[in-house]
């Protein structure tokens, strides 16, 4: 399963490298509310062990000591690593937990109302998500797996049906869908709800984009350079969320991650879309209507920018540089 994803993305990387570069405005200072700022300074990096080929990362106070901890997925070992913080920028040695086949995304929330952080991990190789309930001391119970679509990517935790219980959602790369699992409130989740997501969805985000109190979803199509917005209709009689037909917006070359925030101070949600292949960020300003984003503005972001969400592009690039037969150790 994961081999198909690797081969597909590697073919895309190879094919796009020969394409004419997209011409963009390298810097746009005139976006209202976005100001040029000095780059903050940082101390020299402190290395912490995080397992083999670490991918996505999530931060949270897992043992409730007031110090930030991190959880890291390891796609090549089918594990996550928990690193408890010491409060000085350093961490204890990682503790491993088994999850599904080739994990790529991770998120956290209190799934059972005990005020302790729990984890959910999307596994692209086994087409499922692993839920690990926290014990509050920085340890977790063994994973319970929930079936998803074909090739899940990042995972988003949010109350998607306004019942005050956390749910999770993933885009499924190979079957052009996204899946929602609604939380029961006791740490378990209901049956999978499947929705159309457009071609090869690689990243999903959820928020109320038009201010109507209903959760909407944004889905990135990495291979067709598309941002698909599906506005929420609210929930039906059974409490299941429904969505309007998707509206497609153009992005740069290879949109791979999206952030939702008010970028220009007008109290409306905007989109910042990271484009892996064109090395830039597409800014889509919202207008609180059904049409939502205005045409995008492009900002330079360097060659092959990445996020910690979904499959790491840095890791993908290095794997794709190997001969096909050598990739099997990453995809078998």
Q: What is the pLDDT of residues 36-81, one digit of tens each?
A: 445 555 555 555 555 555 568 999 999 999 999 999 999 999 999 9
Q: Which has more confidence, 44 or 256?
A: 256
Residue 306, sorted as left (phi over 0), alpha (psi -120 to 50) or beta, turns out to be: beta
Residue 283 in this model has a pLDDT that exceeds 80: yes
Mean pLDDT throughout 134-138? 97
- Higher-pLDDT residue of 308 and 174 is 174
pLDDT score for 56: 83
Percent of the chain with pLDDT over 90: 62
Average confidence score pLDDT of the chain: 80
pLDDT at site 239: 87
Q: What is the pLDDT of residue 258?
A: 93
The per-residue pLDDT for range 19-31, each reduced to its tens digit, is 323 222 222 233 3
Residue that has been written with the tokens 């599904």 in this structure: 100
pLDDT value of residue 19: 35
Please say if the pLDDT value at position 300 is more than 60. Answer: no
- Facing residues of 228 across strands? 219, 248
Among 214, 190, 209, 172, residue whose Cα is nearest residue 111: 190
pLDDT per residue over 75-134, tens digit each?
999 999 999 999 999 999 999 999 999 999 999 999 999 999 999 999 999 999 999 999
Q: For residue 330, what pLDDT is reported?
A: 35
Cα–Cα dist 296/292, whole Å: 12
Please provide residue 187's backbone torsions phi and psi, each rounded to the nearest 5 degrees: 95, 0
- Label residue 155 by pLDDT band (50, 70, 90): very high
% residues pLDDT > 70 (the chain): 70
Q: Are 190 and 175 in contact (CB under 8 A)?
A: no
Do 219 and 197 contact (CB within 8 A), yes or no? yes
Other Cβ atoms within 10 Å of 277 Cβ, number: 25
Question: Model's pTM, two decimal places?
Answer: 0.78
**What would the mean pLDDT of 191-206 be, rounded to a whole number?**
95
Q: Is the pLDDT of residue 169 over 80?
A: yes
């Amino acid at each position: 399963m994961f081999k198909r994803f690797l081969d597909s993305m590697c073919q895309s990387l190879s094919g796009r490298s020969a394409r004419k570069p997209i011409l963009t405005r390298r810097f746009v200072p005139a976006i209202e509310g976005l100001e040029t700022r000095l780059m903050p300074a940082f101390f020299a990096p402190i290395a912490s062990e995080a397992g083999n080929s670490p991918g996505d990362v999530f931060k949270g106070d897992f043992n409730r000591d007031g110090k930030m901890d991190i959880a890291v997925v390891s796609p090549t070992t089918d594990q996550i690593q928990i690193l408890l913080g010491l409060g000085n920028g350093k961490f204890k040695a990682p503790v491993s937990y088994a999850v599904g086949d080739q994990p790529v995304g991770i998120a956290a929330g209190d799934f059972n109302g005990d005020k302790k952080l729990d984890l959910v991990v999307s596994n692209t190789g086994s087409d499922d998500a692993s839920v690990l309930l926290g014990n509050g001391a920085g340890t977790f119970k063994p994973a319970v797996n929930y079936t998803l679509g074909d090739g899940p990517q990042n995972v988003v935790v949010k109350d998607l049906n306004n019942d005050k219980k956390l749910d999770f959602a993933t885009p499924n790369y190979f079957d052009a869908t996204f899946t929602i699992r609604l939380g029961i409130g006791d740490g378990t989740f209901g049956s999978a709800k499947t929705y159309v997501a457009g071609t090869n969805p690689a990243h999903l985000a959820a928020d109320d984009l038009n201010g109507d109190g209903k959760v909407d979803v944004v889905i990135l199509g990495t291979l067709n350079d598309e941002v698909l917005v599906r506005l929420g209709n609210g929930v039906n009689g059974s409490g299941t969320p429904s969505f309007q037909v998707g509206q497609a917006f153009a992005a740069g070359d290879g949109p791979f991650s999206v952030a939702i925030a008010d970028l220009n101070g007008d109290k409306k949600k905007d989109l910042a879309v990271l484009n892996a292949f064109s090395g830039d960020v597409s800014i889509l300003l919202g207008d609180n209507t059904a049409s939502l984003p205005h045409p995008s503005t492009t900002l330079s972001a360097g060659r092959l920018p990445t996020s910690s969400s979904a499959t790491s592009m840095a890791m993908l690039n290095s794997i794709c540089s190997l001969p096909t037969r050598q990739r099997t150790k990453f995809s078998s």
